[in-house]
Structure 1
Amino acid sequence: MTWHAIIVAGGSGSRSGGKKQWMLLGGKPVLDWSVAAFAGATQVVVVVPTEDVAQAAERYGDQLTVVAGGADRAASVVNGLRALEAGADDLVLIHDAARPLLKFHHISSLLASLETRRAAILALSVTDSLKTGAEVVTGAPSREGLWRAQTPQAFRYGDIVAAYEAWPGGAATDEATVASAAGIEVALVEGDVRLHKLTYADDFALMEALMDKPVKQIRIGQGFDAHRWGEGDSVWLCGVKIVHNQALIGHSDADAGLHALTDALLGAAGLGDIGDHFPPTDPQWKGASSDRFLQHAVDLVREKGGSIVNADVTLICERPKIKPHREAMRARLAEILGIEIDRVSVKATTTEGMGFTGRQEGLAAQAVCAIEI
């Protein structure tokens, strides 16, 4: 299906305090938003005031066609239609640049409607109670069957050109008015409150509030660590000291559970691994408490604007028994991570006598975590 777009940006912006098409919204000119939304069109024509043609051509010249507007909206639209290289049956969407939060699903809805209809517009049903009057209420007309017209408005090119040629003149606030006057049936397609029109200066604050905010990602990280058994009388696991007849050997306190979880957090955040941040060749980490490593990873995640969703640690060993210490481990991990204990899991398993953990040569730990960032 071949379709084209006209973006009408020819207003003076007297009510908004300036030419709103060039005012910034979300860090870029209002007009930029609509230009980006119509990236899939065969041809895009933007209509701007005569004095802005050079500015628009410099900014968008390689993306679209720039033409000067007319004395009123109808004249501006006609100028845009004349600039289109379209066949009579091609589809054309006419849009106000002052409705910048246009998304492709809005465009798709209109194009789908034109598969069976001659014309279609986006519109919202009126939900507020209506009143007439000046300083006091004099009446309350029914809102039944009333709609708030939005843009884009979609037509077959030949139809809308002929409708404007037949238009007797006078105020035409939108293309649907012109099409209806020419006997073209215009279908109503559900609109969107985010297509609110920028009219007054205060509308910019409202539009900023309606803008889509970046969606946070859930990222998964995993870590693994292992240490051999050696001489000693206690072992640190998941931040808890357990009396034992051996100790785990390592440059730091060899807390395999904390090491695995630290690597999982760093991996989820794309920040390397524990060795990058705490090299085993650096003497300052000799015998260091591994909760410092995990706290460092937690701080880095938060510095990136992330938050920790949950953590799951599995200890793989024949001994010591983990179950008696599991709740203390969960509580310590929750404290360091700064999350509720029900989002922390510590489990233990054996390898049924197989491998280095089964032969009780060492202990291993693996960890998985999720962060939102």
Structure 2
Amino acid sequence: MRTDVIVVAAGSGQRAGDGIPKQFRPLGGRAVLRRTLEAFLGRPGIRHVLPVIHPDHAPWCAEAMAGLEGVLAPVAGGATRQASVRAGLEALADDPPDLVLIHDAARPFVSARLVADAIAAAERHGAAVPALVLVDTIKAVGEPGFVGAGPDRGGLRSVQTPQSFRYELIRAAHRARAGADDLTDDAAVAEAAGHRVATFPGDPANTKLTTPEDFVTAERHVALELADVRSATGFDVHAFGPGDHVVLGGVRIPHQQGLSGHSDADVVLHALTDALLGTIGSGDIGHHFPPSDPQWKGASSDLFLAHAVALVKAAGGLVAHLDATVICEAPKIGPHREAMRERIAQIAGISLARVSVKATTSEKLGFTGRREGIAAMASATVRLPWID
């Protein structure tokens, strides 16, 4: 049956602390929303994934969704979760699915098993939710500071998303509740319309990111997922030629000569690009950007480094550290070191603390010692999902 997914991402996430809304915050180098969307893309039975966002969040959403295929253009949500889900359901009405999964954007660890079970449960029962058996004792608090009697936890469950439904069932239920947005999840909306809601086993790893502490735990989770730590090196050299500046690490530095090359001859970014490509076994810079291709003549080398970073991300990884050493007698690198670090960090989309730039001479030996050119060595460290 055709199944679409509505990802509810219209909230402000105030309990997650200061900063941008939690669904757009980085988690292991990728926005939470992007991780959530990716968890559904390509799963058997999934046709489309539709984000529902606050209109003011459109720029963050566009950045998080960049390059993803199978994701519909986001629609604007409402003032409550019910209103946002209803907006998503109505947006699918022109080409309705048979089934719909409704999921919180702040649950980025939804598994393939949970998605498959949600689809099967909706097909069988019409309305279903993932549920977990409670392991903690539940107590009521009567007099402040003292516990009272608690309910029997044997009949209680904690409920997660994705909640799954036949599309026409849940759309009609939401329409019947229009203007009465007082229910906290879609199961309650279905129940209010007179439908029985089945349960299927949830997943303890399918946690919802709510507080700053949740993000700390989530980063640890991602680190365990990215257990394949790889390092590789790169090297590049360019000769001096006519000009009044050189470009190193993406920074224009005045000099009495330029560097000769098909692109802007930025030896630092070229070496870093080769190092990153090496971590994923993806050839070298000449393979991706042949000097015989005229479109790269005079090109800014930040394109090359950004391309290598994108390939690492496409492999499910993140860049952990970049290190470059410039070898030359002149120009002096020290005055430009921090600007180079900042530009490299910006291109790679990583923090400044993850970038190192150093410089040395060759003690007037060799071609760099004779001031005939500049060389650069680089290393890159990335974290990737472990694949045997």
What is the TM-score normalised by the length of structure 2? 0.53
SS in 2 for 1:195: coil
Aligned residue among 51, 55, 63 for 1:50: 55
Mapped to 1, the partners of 2:91 and 2:47 lie a distance apart of: 13
Query: How many equivalent residue pairs?
Result: 220
* Per-residue deviation, 1:123: 1.2
* Per-residue deviation, 1:183: 1.3
Aligned residue among 159, 164, 168 for 1:154: 164
Mapped to 1, the partners of 2:158 and 2:221 lie a distance apart of: 18
Mapped to 2, the partners of 1:148 and 1:196 lie a distance apart of: 11
SS in 1 for 2:23: coil
2:24 pairs with 1:16: no
Aligned residue among 160, 164, 173 for 1:163: 173
Match of 1:139 in 2: 149
* Per-residue deviation, 1:42: 1.3
Mapped to 2, the partners of 1:214 and 1:179 lie a distance apart of: 39
Cα pair 1:44 1:65 within 8 Å, conserved:
no
1:279-330 alpha-carbon deviations (Å, 9 max, x no partner) = xxxxxxxxxxxxxxxxxxxxxxxxxxxxxxxxxxxxxxxxxxxxxxxxxxxx
Aligned residue among 225, 250, 257 for 1:213: 225
Mapped to 1, the partners of 2:7 and 2:123 lie a distance apart of: 22
SS in 2 for 1:21: helix
Cα pair 2:191 2:197 within 8 Å, conserved:
yes
Mapped to 2, the partners of 1:115 and 1:153 lie a distance apart of: 12
Match of 1:36 in 2: 38
Mapped to 2, the partners of 1:209 and 1:9 lie a distance apart of: 23
Match of 1:94 in 2: 102
Partner amino acid, structure 1, of 2:218:
M
* Per-residue deviation, 1:210: 3.5
* Per-residue deviation, 1:5: 0.4
Match of 1:343 in 2: none
Aligned residue among 203, 210, 220 for 1:192: 203
SS in 2 for 1:193: coil
Match of 1:282 in 2: none
Partner amino acid, structure 1, of 2:137:
S
Change (3 A) 1:42 1:161: same
Cα pair 1:166 1:182 within 8 Å, conserved:
yes
SS in 2 for 1:71: coil
Cα pair 1:88 1:159 within 8 Å, conserved:
no
Cα pair 1:131 1:138 within 8 Å, conserved:
yes
Match of 1:178 in 2: 189
Cα pair 2:83 2:181 within 8 Å, conserved:
no
- What are the residue-to-residue correspondences of 1:1-373 with 2, within 5 Å? 1-17=1-17, 18=19, 19-40=21-42, 41-57=46-62, 59-60=64-65, 63-85=71-93, 90-133=98-141, 134-167=144-177, 169-211=180-222, 213-214=225-226
Partner amino acid, structure 1, of 2:7:
I
Mapped to 1, the partners of 2:136 and 2:111 lie a distance apart of: 26
Cα pair 2:36 2:109 within 8 Å, conserved:
yes
Change (3 A) 1:216 1:12: closer
What is the TM-score normalised by the length of structure 1? 0.55
Kindly name which structure, 1 or 2, has the bigger radius of gyration based on alpha carbons.
1
Change (3 A) 1:185 1:213: same
Mapped to 2, the partners of 1:76 and 1:142 lie a distance apart of: 34
Mapped to 2, the partners of 1:147 and 1:15 lie a distance apart of: 24
Larger mean Cα displacement after TM superposition, 203-212 or 11-20: 203-212
* Per-residue deviation, 1:53: 2.3
Among all aligned residue pairs of Structure 1 and Structure 2, give the percentage whose two residues are the same amino acid. 42
Mapped to 1, the partners of 2:196 and 2:124 lie a distance apart of: 11
* Per-residue deviation, 1:54: 4.1
Change (3 A) 1:87 1:157: farther
* Per-residue deviation, 1:13: 1.3
* Per-residue deviation, 1:114: 2.4
Cα pair 1:7 1:44 within 8 Å, conserved:
yes
Mapped to 2, the partners of 1:215 and 1:108 lie a distance apart of: 26
Mapped to 2, the partners of 1:83 and 1:103 lie a distance apart of: 26
* Per-residue deviation, 1:89: 6.5
Mapped to 1, the partners of 2:55 and 2:95 lie a distance apart of: 27
Cα pair 1:123 1:189 within 8 Å, conserved:
yes
* Per-residue deviation, 1:69: 1.2
Cα pair 1:49 1:68 within 8 Å, conserved:
yes
Partner amino acid, structure 1, of 2:185:
D
Mapped to 2, the partners of 1:116 and 1:156 lie a distance apart of: 9
SS in 1 for 2:162: strand
* Per-residue deviation, 1:65: 2.1
Match of 1:298 in 2: none
Structure 1: runs of 5+ lacking an equivalent: 218-269, 271-371
Mapped to 2, the partners of 1:23 and 1:216 lie a distance apart of: 24
Partner amino acid, structure 1, of 2:203:
D
Change (3 A) 1:103 1:184: same
